[in-house]
Amino acid sequence: MDLNLHQLKIFSTVAEQLSFTRAAEELHLSQSSVSLQVNQLERSLGLELFEQIGKKIYLTEPGRVLQEYSQKLSALIDETLLVMDEMKGIMRGKIHVVADTTAGIYVVPQAIGAFHRLHPTIQLSLEVIGLTGAQEALLANRADLAIIGRVPDSLTFGIQEFLPNELVLIASPNHRLAGREHVPVHELDGETVILREPGSATRETAERFFRDRGVEVRFGMTLGSSGAIKQAVAVDLGIAVLSKQAISLELATHRLVTLNVDGFPIVKKWFVVHLKGKRLSAAAAELKSFLWAYRQQQEPNLVT
């Protein structure tokens, strides 16, 4: 019994689309050719890979198993080709980066944009997801690098510092404390604080700040994005703790102000994280090195 890589690719496309017609369009083949190749593969294996119920096709159990192994084989072939290119000194390939919400929207695009200008042949993709999702993407080997605001409590990750993350207390310009200097933290008693979603590193920092100082604030709405929080604060629904990088436009246009409360700003960091056991491709390793150099360019006074 022989496995034909061409037939496996056709099978995988049909399995993904669950349609011979759509698979043929994607592969730029005739539908009859796609059907013929799948039939030949089934005869070679002695197994039925698809079953038809009504007008729809579905994977059989052997089909599901073959799809899983064909995906692994495809990833291995891609890795093999990358290694061969690296041995020839060719800098290309694909890098998948995941980032937590604030970093992914307000910080990372500028950095990887600068990298792309240096290495236009490398395909870059950025997925903006929550902190937990970023860690899960690394563990599932679905991402090469993550840029996140909290170091995972695990020895399975390699960690490199990236940029400072300055957290500030924001309010509308009409807030009673706007414009005052050195505001004692107890003057926040009774304030409504708008929070990020559970699991957010920014939320955890804000909750810890008020708890450790015994400030009796009221935690109000929970919103899933910095944009939504900025809108709520701008219309006086409460105050909030956000990254300063996320509010530069609102500060410039005077839609928001920062409150000069003792203890703020809180300076945290973003980190570049990867799975320790994963062999980074030459392209991903180059990006990791670039991000370290980018950090030093952005923060020349950092002690390294």
Whether residue 184 is preceded by a cis peptide bond, meaning omega within 30 degrees of 0, is: no
Cβ(232)–Cβ(109) under 8 Å?
Answer: no
Q: Decide which of 259 and 150 is more confident.
A: 259
Residue 185's nearest CA partner among 275, 96, 260, 240 is 260
Please give the domain boundaries of the chain with CATH numbers for all domains.
5-87 (1.10.10.10), 93-163+269-298 (3.40.190.10), 166-267 (3.40.190.10)
Average pLDDT over residues 88-93: 62
**Per mean pLDDT, which range of 34-43, 76-85, 230-239, 277-286 is the poorest?**
76-85
pLDDT in tens, 227-284: 999 999 999 999 999 999 999 999 999 999 999 999 999 999 999 999 887 788 888 9
- Supply the pLDDT for residue 77: 82
Confidence of residue 140 (pLDDT cuts 50, 70, 90): confident
Q: How far apart are CA 59 and CA 11, in angstroms?
A: 10
Confidence of residue 303 (pLDDT cuts 50, 70, 90): very low
Average pLDDT, whole number, for the chain?
A: 88
For 301, list phi and psi in degrees, rounded to 5. -95, 5
Tell me the helix, strand and coil percentages in the chain, rounded to 5: 45, 25, 30
- Supply the pLDDT for residue 4: 82
Q: How far apart are CA 222 and CA 257, in angstroms?
A: 20
pLDDT in tens, 174-210: 999 999 999 999 999 999 999 988 888 889 999 999 9
- Residue 154 pLDDT exceeds 80: no
168: its two tokens: 């500030």
- Residue 90 pLDDT exceeds 70: no
Opening angle at CA 108, ends 107 and 109, nearest 5: 100
119: its two tokens: 């290495």
Residue 160's nearest CA partner among 204, 117, 111 is 111
| 3-class DSSP assignment, residue 260 | coil
Confidence of residue 18 (pLDDT cuts 50, 70, 90): very high
pLDDT in tens, 94-113: 899 999 888 999 999 999 99
Let me know if 177 is exposed, middle or buried by CB neighbors in 10 A (0-12, 13-18, 19+). middle
**Per mean pLDDT, which range of 48-52, 81-85, 163-167, 203-207 is the poorest?**
81-85
Taking the model in full, what pTM does it have?
A: 0.65
Confidence of residue 304 (pLDDT cuts 50, 70, 90): very low
- Residue 299 pLDDT exceeds 80: no
